[in-house]
Amino acid sequence: MSVIKLLCTTLGKTLGFFTVLVVFIAATLNYFEDSETVKYTSMAEDIKTLEENFRQQNKSCFILGASGETGKLLLQELLEHNIFSKITLIGRRQLTFEGKTYENLVQEVVDFEKLDDYAAAFQGHDVGYCCLGTTRAKAGAEGFIRVDHDYVLKSAELAKAGGCTQFHLESSRGADKNSGFLYLKVKGQVEADIEALGFDRFAIYRPGVLLVDRQESRPAEWMARKFFSAVSAVGYRSMSVPIQEVAKAMVSNTVLQPEQKTEILENKDIATLGKSAGK
C-alpha cells in the first residue's frame, strides 16, 4: 500500500506541476497576445473586386527569396491570383519549375555581393516583395547581417531607383533596431532603413514562428513548431502563423488601400488577413 500511496502522490505532484505550467504558458501568451486590428478583422473591401481593378492596371513585380519557404508559396499565390502582368524572380541562381503555370516567369540571376552591377534587374517593376533571409546558425553573425540587412537594403535602394513604388518586406515578430538580440536588431534596422527610402507604400510583415515542415529541420525546431501549432489551435494567434497565411496575406494586402505610407502587420493581422483571403 505504501508503494501505491507513493505512486499516487508522485503522479498527483506531477499532474499539479503540469497544470501550473500550462496555466503559466496560457497567461504568458495571453499577455503577449496582439491587440485586435479592426482593419483586418472585418474585411469590408471586396478582395475580388480590388484584385480585378488592380489587374487592369497592368503592373509588374519582382520577388527576392523565391527559393525560400515563404517565397515559394508567395509565388504560387501570385500566379493563382494573376494580379500582375509580369513576375520577375531575382536571386543568386536559376530556379527550375515544371508546368505551363511557370512558363512566363522572368528570372534574373545576380551576385548579391556586386548588386550595383545588376541594377538593370531591378528596373521597371511596380511592386517588390522581399522574403530574403538566412540564419546566424547557417551564415554566422557577419553573414546574417550581410544577407538580412545589406542585401535586402541594397535591393530596396535599386528597386526604388528603378521606379518601384510599393515594397513588401517579410520581417519578424519583435523586430526592433534597439533590441539587444542580434536577430531582432537587424530586422528592425533594415525596416527603418527601407522606410527612410520613401517608397509610396511600404508594408512590413512581422510573423511569429512560421508553421511549416522545413526540408532542413533540427529536432528543437521541429518540437517548437509542434508546440506553437498546438497553441495556435486553441486560439492564441500572436506567437505563430501557418506560412501559407503569410503568403496569402502579402498578396491580398497588395491590393488594399492603406491609410498611411508605412504599415506594420503583426502576427495576428497576418493570420486574420491570410484566413480572410482563403475564404
198: left (phi over 0), alpha (psi -120 to 50) or beta: left
For residue 64, list its beta bridge partners.
90, 130
> Could you give phi then psi for residue 133, rounded to 5 degrees?
175, 160
Q: Is 183 a catalytic residue?
A: yes
For residue 88, list its beta bridge partners.
62, 106
The grid coordinates listed for 132 are 530574403
The grid coordinates listed for 115 are 548588386
For residue 206, list its beta bridge partners.
266
- At a CB cut-off of 8 Å and minimum separation 6, what does 68 contact? 131, 132, 133
- At a CB cut-off of 8 Å and minimum separation 6, what does 226 contact? none
Q: Residues 187, 248, 268, 275: which is the catalytic one?
A: 187
Q: Residues 118, 177, 183, 185: which is the catalytic one?
A: 183
The DSSP 8-state label assigned to residue 59 in this structure reads -
Q: Is 187 a catalytic residue?
A: yes
Q: Which of 85, 101, 77, 48 is nearest to 274 (CA)?
A: 77
State the catalytic residues: 183, 187
